Structure 1
Amino acid sequence: MSDKDTTHFGFKEVETEAKAGLVANVFHSVAARYDVMNDLMSGGIHRIWKRFTIELSGVRKGHSVLDIAGGTGDLAARFSRIVGSEGRVVLADINESMLHVGRDKLIDHGHHGNIEFVQADAQYLPFPDDSFDCITIAFGLRNVTDKDRALRSMLRVLKPGGRLLVLEFSKPKNELLSKAYDGYSFRVIPLIGKLVANDSESYQYLSESIRMHPDQETLKQMMEDAGFAQCDYHNMTGGIVALHRGVKA
Structure 2
Amino acid sequence: MVLTNKTPEDKVNSLFDRVAPEYDSMNNWISMGLQKKWRKETMKKLDIKNDSEILDVCCGTGAWTADLARGLGESGHVTGLDFSKEMLKLAETKLVNYEQKSKIKLVQGNAMDLPFTDNSFNGATIGFGLRNVPDASQVLSEMLRVVKPGGFVACLETSQPQNMIVKSVWNIFFKLVPVIAKIRGNNYADYDYLQKTTKEFVSANRLKEMFEEVGLQKVTYKQFSLGAVVLHIGYKKM
Per the shorter chain, which TM-score range? over 0.9
Alignment of 1:216 with 2:193, yes or no, is: no
Choose the corresponding residue for 2:112, options 114, 120, 123. Answer: 123
Q: Shift of the alpha carbon at 1:17? A: 6.6
Residue 236 of structure 1 is aligned with which of 196, 201, 224? 224
Corresponding residue for 1:6? none
1:131-146 → structure 2 map (5 Å cutoff): 131-146=120-135
Q: Which structure has the higher relative contact order (CA within 8 Å, separation 6+)?
A: 1
Say if 2:52 is the partner of 1:63.
yes
Between 190-199 and 58-67, report the one with greater CA deviation: 190-199
TM-score by length of 1: 0.90
Unmatched runs of 5 consecutive residues or more in structure 2: none
Hey, which bits of structure 1, 4+ residues long, moved more than 6 A? Answer: none
Residue in 1 aligned with 2:83? 94
- Map of 2:8 onto structure 1: 19
Contact 2:55 2:124 in 1 (8 A): yes
Look up the match of 2:69: 80
Q: Structure 1 stretches of 5 or more lacking a match?
A: 1-15
Partner of 1:153: helix, strand, or coil? helix
Kept after mapping to 2: 8 A contact 1:62/1:83: yes
How many residues are matched?
A: 233
Equivalent runs, 1:141-156 vs 2, <5 Å: 141-156=130-145
SS in 1 for 2:48: coil
Deviation per CA, 1:189-224: give whole Å up to 9, x if none.
Answer: 112211224222111111000122111111111110
- Where 2:184 maps in the other structure, the secondary structure is helix
Which of 177, 186, 191 is 1:203 aligned to?
Answer: 191
- What's the counterpart of residue 32 of structure 1? 21
Maintained 8 Å contact 1:171/1:239: yes
SS of the residue corresponding to residue 202 of structure 1 reads helix
Give the drift of 1:78: 1.6
Q: Which residue of 1 aligns with 2:234?
A: 246
- Contact map agreement 1:138 1:168 (CA 8 A) in 2: yes
TM-score, normalization by structure 2 = 0.94
Provide Cα deviations, 1:4-36, integer angstroms capped at 9, x if missing partner.
xxxxxxxxxxxx973212211221111011111
Kept in 1, the 8 Å contact 2:19–2:186? The answer is no
Q: Is the 8 A contact 1:54 1:75 kept in 2?
A: no
Determine if contact 2:116/2:146 at 8 Å carries over to the other structure: yes
> Does the 8 Å CA contact 2:128/2:158 hold for their aligned counterparts?
yes
The AA in structure 1 aligned to 2:121 is F
